[in-house]
Amino acid sequence: MINVEVSRNNNENSVSIIRRFTKRVQGSGVLPRVRGIRYASRKLSYYKTKMKTLKSIKRKLEIEELIKLGKMQEKPSKFIKKK
């Protein structure tokens, strides 16, 4: 990350210092980068990924069994080719 630094010149008021600082921050591209990563979620760990996969496999097997027993209807395919 780039630190932006502005030092006060002779006979310079605080408003112009703030203006120069703002321009320097905009030019450095710090804010777009920070805003871009604000809501980024981190990668799941190996263990979490494995547990999620095992859970989905277990659920698929339960659904297959319920369909075979007639307790659940099979979903019709959304992409049926029509002739």
pLDDT of residue 83: 65
Q: Alpha-carbon distance 26 to 32, whole Å?
A: 9
Query: What is the predicted pLDDT for the residue at 42?
Result: 84
pLDDT profile of the chain (83 residues), mean per 10: 81 90 88 85 92 97 93 78 67
Domain check: are 34 and 66 in the same one?
no
Residue 4 shares a structural domain with residue 27: yes
Cα 1 to chain centroid distance, Å, stands at 20
Does residue 48 share a domain with residue 13?
no
Round to whole Å and give the CA distance between 17 and 4: 13
Query: Same structural domain for residues 57 and 69?
Result: yes
Predicted TM-score (pTM) of this structure: 0.45
Q: Dig out the tokens for 82 from the structure.
A: 């029509």
